[in-house]
Amino acid sequence: MKTTTALGIDIGGTNICCALVSDEGELSFEQNFSTKNFIEPSHLVAQVYETYVALIQQNNFELAGIGMGAPNGNFFSGSIEHAPNMPWKGIVPLAKLFAEKFNCLSLLTNDANAAAIGEMQFGAAKGMKDFLMITLGTGLGSGVVSNGQLIYGHDGFAGELGHTIYDYNGRPCGCGRKGCLETYCSATGIVRTVQEWLSDETVITYLRNEENLTAKNIYEAAKAGDALALKAFDFTAEILGRKLADAVAVTSPQAIVLFGGLANAGALLFEPTKKYMEANMLFVYKNKVQLLPSLLKENEAAIIGAASLIYHQLKK
Ligand SMILES: [Zn+2]
């Protein structure tokens, strides 16, 4: 009797992490590669094939498929499309390349969508049919699940809450426009906030002495009672709470799951975000939407999410 497994691949600009994931969400045979080692995407496919094919046979696994999460990943085309931080330019049909090499179901989507499916399959949104997944890392990624389905939109790019605009005259965003939500509400965003405030030299804060300011420094300073750091969390939470209240009006989710760097700040972020979200919510939604931390381990979530694409697809 063979054991079902899915290969999950988390593709980033720096690292590519793979593992076999059981239908219970257990990881095995993790491997990490440096993205820059693969000049061509076909080199990655060949490396993964070499690493896993014998392993799968020796361990009597049945490979249900290969799921991938990648920046600018398009579920419909199975391609990475013009991802700014990847060594491969243009349109990279990665799902097709894997399907041909392994002769199995291969699916690809963007990282936040994969995280949403992972959370629904094995994490905080287990059993839910309507929720929003928000990843607060370098940027702000989002995945929207409605009626048990991830919303891809007509072109595969639905759910970019991070690039809805908070301030039309605000901070420049990597997308070329101004004031996008992710320029405020992300690990990078909170650092920008503190840097702006530090330009006022009368402000007293421990953070002035940090050579390399990070979201983690700000979190630690806030825990130690630093007034500027606490204000930065409150400011970030206010913007996030307002925009989440708006997002709730679109799909009426049961819950919003927060994941990633900034979400690790726990109550420092969750409590004010919940407060501002409720304060800005239309009355019909008030006190109905849970704000939850992810239940997936940070170092495993991306791979589990990627593999979950396969399990979710097979359930349909
Ligand atoms: Zn933007």
Q: List, for residues 199-246, the tens digit of each pLDDT value.
A: 998 998 999 988 899 999 999 999 999 999 999 999 999 999 999 999
Determine the distance separating the centroid of ligand 1 and the alpha carbon of 182, expressed in angstroms: 7
Model pTM score: 0.92
Q: Identify the pLDDT of residue 44.
A: 97
- Cα separation of 3 and 42, whole Å? 28
Determine the distance separating the centroid of ligand 1 and the alpha carbon of 114, expressed in angstroms: 20
Q: Are 163 and 176 in contact (CB under 8 A)?
A: no
**Sign of the C-alpha dihedral computed for residues 272, 268, 285 and 116 taken in this order:** positive
What tokens appear for 116 in the block? 């949403």
- Cα separation of 125 and 17, whole Å? 24
Determine the distance separating the centroid of ligand 1 and the alpha carbon of 197, expressed in angstroms: 22
Determine the distance separating the centroid of ligand 1 and the alpha carbon of 254, expressed in angstroms: 27
Map tokens 């992972």 to a residue: 118
Beta bridge partners of 13: none
Determine the distance separating the centroid of ligand 1 and the alpha carbon of 242, expressed in angstroms: 17
Determine the distance separating the centroid of ligand 1 and the alpha carbon of 174, expressed in angstroms: 6
- Cα separation of 84 and 72, whole Å? 9
Determine the distance separating the centroid of ligand 1 and the alpha carbon of 177, expressed in angstroms: 6
Determine the distance separating the centroid of ligand 1 and the alpha carbon of 61, expressed in angstroms: 42
Determine the distance separating the centroid of ligand 1 and the alpha carbon of 178, expressed in angstroms: 7
Determine the distance separating the centroid of ligand 1 and the alpha carbon of 187, expressed in angstroms: 15
Determine the distance separating the centroid of ligand 1 and the alpha carbon of 115, expressed in angstroms: 20
Determine the distance separating the centroid of ligand 1 and the alpha carbon of 83, expressed in angstroms: 14
Map tokens 């969390």 to a residue: 233
Determine the distance separating the centroid of ligand 1 and the alpha carbon of 189, expressed in angstroms: 12
- Cα separation of 305 and 123, whole Å? 10
Determine the distance separating the centroid of ligand 1 and the alpha carbon of 171, expressed in angstroms: 9
Residues (pLDDT < 50) of the chain are: none
- Eight-state DSSP code of residue 180: B
Determine the distance separating the centroid of ligand 1 and the alpha carbon of 162, expressed in angstroms: 7
Determine the distance separating the centroid of ligand 1 and the alpha carbon of 166, expressed in angstroms: 10
Determine the distance separating the centroid of ligand 1 and the alpha carbon of 74, expressed in angstroms: 18
Determine the distance separating the centroid of ligand 1 and the alpha carbon of 65, expressed in angstroms: 33
Determine the distance separating the centroid of ligand 1 and the alpha carbon of 116, expressed in angstroms: 21
Determine the distance separating the centroid of ligand 1 and the alpha carbon of 183, expressed in angstroms: 7
Q: Identify the pLDDT of residue 39.
A: 93
Determine the distance separating the centroid of ligand 1 and the alpha carbon of 160, expressed in angstroms: 9
Residues in contact with 117: Cβ distance below 8 Å, sequence separation at least 6, in sequence order: 109, 143, 145, 150, 305, 308, 309, 312
